[in-house]
Amino acid sequence: MRIEAIFLVGVAVFFAIVGALYWIWTAYAGGAELSGVLMLVGSFLLGLVPGSYYLWWSHRMRPRPEDRSDATIEEGSGVIGAFPSSSVWPFVMGMGLFLIALAAVFGYWLAAPGVALIVSAATGYTVESRRGGTV
């Protein structure tokens, strides 16, 4: 977890440096260019938020088997996670969003079936998750 944390914090550090450089340099050259500064600050936060969470955790947990170079495959045995083998709901939800996108262009009436599909897909997802499919 430590490498992952450093990786994400590294994103934040890079954007902090480049963002500050860009801000100061443009301000010096005749007026800070704020759209670029704002996007760089956003990217800084994108690294900072998950990075600091990972860093916080990496100090509070033992290295996982995948963090240790001497781990054996047996150490990874047990339940890995839930992996449903098939589900129709992603398709239904995708088609719902497709209809809503088309509704914005061709007429808002198309959004009605789209919303209906999304609601049914969301319901289907939830019900399906209770069945499991664990590996």
Partner 1 sequence: MTVLQERHEITAEHAEHAEHEGPHYVLRWLTSTDHKVIGLNYMFTSLIIFYIAGALALAIRLQLANPSSSFVSFQTFNELFTMHGSLMLYLFAGPFAFGGLANYIVPLQVGAPDMAFPRLNAFSYWLYLSGSITMMLGTITASGPAAFGWVSYAPLSNSVNSPGAGPDLWIMGIGLTGFSAIFTAVNLVTTIFYLRAPGMTMFRLPIFTWNMLVTAILILIAFPILTAAMVLLWADRHFGTWFYEVGRQAVAGHPAVEGGVPVLYQHLFWFFGHPEVYILALPYFGIATEIIPVFSRKPLFGYKGMVFATMAIAALSTGVWAHHMFTTGVVLLPFFSLLSLLIAVPTGIKFFNWIGTMWRGQIKFDTPMLFCIGFLLAFLMGGLTGVMLASPPIDFATHDTYFVVAHFHQVLFGTAVFAGFAGIYFWWPKMFGRRLDERLGKLHFWLMFVGFWVTFMPQYVLGLWGMPRRIASYPAHVGWTTLNVVSTIGAFVIGLSFVVLIVNVLVTATRTADAGDNPWDGFSLEWFASSPPAHHNFERLPPIRSERPVWDFHHPDARTVAHGNGRAPTAPRPVGAH
* Interface residue list for partner 1 (CB under 8 A): 3-4, 7, 10-11, 14-15, 18, 21-22, 25-26, 29, 33, 35-36, 39-40, 42-43, 46, 65-81, 83-91, 93-95, 97-98, 101-102, 104-106, 125, 134-135
Cβ 109 to partner 1, closest distance in Å? Answer: 16
Instruction: Report the alpha-carbon distance of residue 43 to residue 35 in Å, rounded.
Output: 12
Instruction: Give me the least distance between CB of 121 and partner 1, in Å please.
Output: 9
Chain centroid, CA 3 distance in Å? 18
Q: Kindly report the CA angle at 115 between 112 and 121, in degrees rounded to 5?
A: 140
Pick 4 or 55: Cβ nearer partner 1: 4
Q: Which residue has the tokens 């800084």?
A: 44
At closest approach, how far in Å is the CB of 60 from partner 1? Answer: 17
Tokens of 100: 């809503």
In sign, the C-alpha dihedral spanning 50, 52, 55, 61 is negative
DSSP tag of 70: T
| Residue 5 Cβ vs partner 1, minimum distance, rounded to whole Å | 10
Looking at the chain, how many residues does it have? 135
Nearer to partner 1, 88 or 112 (CB): 88
For residue 21, give the amino acid letter: L
User: In the complex with partner 1, which residue's Cβ is closer, 62 or 80?
Assistant: 80
Residue type for position 25: W
Judged by beta carbon, residue 106 or residue 112, the one nearer partner 1 is 106
